[in-house]
């Protein structure tokens, strides 16, 4: 995209932006630097993997990316088990972050393969989820349907002395028609029946853990309900896109630019619930900067209130996906050049 901007005769400001999903650590490291910490953890099905934390010693802050332990890259391409996938590995990352002695731990929530309401990550931090017989539930969201009580006695006490911040990539609630199961579980491999099983299980978790308090506020449904878990652990739940924009001075950089070009692989109604491209477009609109969104696929048309001046499809509709992948760099270059010429004309 930057090459395309240059080909149109402009000088690009390249600023990677994330919303809490995959790539958040990379974007923050590129903008602010920091130290990488390698941590042994497990993927959603218990297989041992190595993940990374981002440490800012001067700020006494560690950033945890949930997708490092519970995201798409942690599993085989065809591996899906939506009823049993667990965030336990994310809890191990949180324990490693606490081991650094950091005063603040930020948890980027997004890109998960899980729908367990964050019960796995809470288990790794000492919380026990029990059935009617007092037995610990097996991992995964479906098991929460049998939840009878929660034992907090073993909770890691260090959480009480650290500022915990949850950066959510969506503003969805835990349950309901816009909740974690009914909105996102299908894309994680759940069937229609699985979705209803998970919805009932999340409702049971919500009831036992504190009722409406658990699901109140936006973002509790992020990362399969992990937003709700972090809220229960005392975290401040905040939109990831806006928080990360502040950390990398996105608005300050935008004031130096004539226009904005951003993009997303699939732009749909979910994108308007806190995803980075939509937030970036809104920032451009607020700054009276013309903007362009380049999309791989879109399921609805953007309108003026959605903040995009131009919308460009990355590839012609007749081009097959394998061919798009082969030409991906050239396509981005072409679309960015085209967008730049339009935007400069609009800004001028």
Task: Give the model's pLDDT for residue 212.
Answer: 67
**E strand or H helix that includes residue 236:** strand 236-239
**The pair of three-digit structure tokens given for residue 130, joined into one six-digit string:** 């029990």
Q: Helices (DSSP H) in the chain: which residue ranges? A: 2-7, 24-32, 67-70, 88-99, 119-124, 180-184, 192-209, 212-215, 222-232, 240-247, 250-255, 276-286, 321-326, 328-347
Cβ(201)–Cβ(142) below 8 Å:
yes
CA 224 to chain centre: 10
Query: 345: how many CB neighbours lie within 10 A of its CB?
Result: 9
Tell which residue, 177, 41, 190, has the closest CA to residue 114: 190
Q: How far apart are CA 112 and CA 188, in angstroms?
A: 8
Three-class DSSP category at 37 = strand
Query: What are the chain's domains?
Result: 2-12+249-347 (3.40.50.10350), 24-242 (3.90.1510.10)
**The pair of three-digit structure tokens given for residue 9, joined into one six-digit string:** 């005769």
Task: Give the model's pLDDT for residue 214.
Answer: 74
Q: How far apart are CA 300 and CA 309, in angstroms?
A: 15
167 forms beta bridges with: 108, 238
Task: Give the model's pLDDT for residue 307.
Answer: 52
Cβ(155)–Cβ(126) below 8 Å:
yes
Task: Give the model's pLDDT for residue 301.
Answer: 63
Cβ(112)–Cβ(170) below 8 Å:
no
Residues of the chain with pLDDT under 70: 76-79, 212, 215-216, 269-274, 299-308, 347-348
263 forms beta bridges with: 294
**E strand or H helix that includes residue 293:** strand 291-298
Task: Give the model's pLDDT for residue 346.
Answer: 75
Task: Give the model's pLDDT for residue 241.
Answer: 84
Helix, strand, coil shares of the chain as percentages rounded to 5? 45, 20, 35
Task: Give the model's pLDDT for residue 133.
Answer: 97
**The pair of three-digit structure tokens given for residue 284, joined into one six-digit string:** 């451009």
Q: How far apart are CA 87 and CA 140, in angstroms?
A: 8
Residues 215-230 as b/e (b if ≥16 CB within 10 A, e otherwise) read bebbbbbbbbbbbbbb
Greatest alpha-carbon pair distance for the chain in Å reads 71
């Amino acid at each position: 995209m930057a090459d395309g901007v240059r080909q149109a005769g402009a000088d690009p400001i390249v600023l990677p932006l994330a919303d809490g999903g995959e790539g958040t650590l990379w974007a923050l490291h590129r903008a602010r630097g920091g130290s990488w910490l390698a941590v042994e953890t497990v993927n959603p099905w218990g297989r041992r993997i190595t993940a990374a934390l981002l440490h800012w010693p001067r700020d006494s802050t560690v950033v945890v990316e949930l997708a490092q332990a519970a995201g798409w890259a942690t599993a085989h391409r065809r591996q899906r088990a939506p009823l049993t996938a667990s965030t336990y590995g994310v809890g191990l990352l949180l324990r490693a972050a606490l081991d650094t002695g950091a005063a603040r731990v930020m948890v980027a929530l997004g890109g998960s393969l899980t729908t367990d309401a964050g019960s796995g990550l809470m288990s790794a931090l000492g919380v026990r989820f029990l059935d009617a017989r007092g037995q610990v539930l097996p991992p995964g969201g479906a098991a929460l349907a049998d939840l009878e009580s929660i034992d907090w006695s073993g909770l890691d006490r260090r959480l009480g002395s650290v500022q915990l911040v949850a950066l959510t990539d969506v503003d969805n609630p835990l349950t309901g028609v816009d909740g974690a199961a009914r909105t996102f579980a299908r894309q994680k491999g759940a069937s229609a029946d699985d979705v209803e099983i998970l919805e009932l299980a999340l409702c049971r978790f919500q009831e036992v853990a504190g009722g409406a308090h658990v699901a109140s506020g936006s973002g509790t449904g992020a990362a399969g309900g992990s937003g709700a878990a972090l809220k229960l652990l005392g975290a401040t739940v905040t939109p990831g896109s806006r928080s990360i924009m502040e950390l990398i001075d996105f608005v300050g950089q935008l004031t130096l630019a004539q226009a904005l070009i951003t993009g997303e692989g699939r732009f749909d109604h979910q994108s308007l619930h806190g995803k980075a491209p939509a937030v970036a477009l809104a920032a451009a609109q607020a700054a009276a900067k013309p903007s362009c969104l380049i999309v791989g696929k879109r399921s609805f048309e953007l309108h003026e209130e959605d903040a995009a001046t131009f919308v460009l499809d990355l590839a012609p509709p007749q081009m097959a996906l394998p061919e798009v992948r082969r030409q991906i760099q050239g396509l981005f270059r072409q679309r960015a050049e085209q967008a730049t010429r339009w935007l400069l004309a609009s800004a001028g």
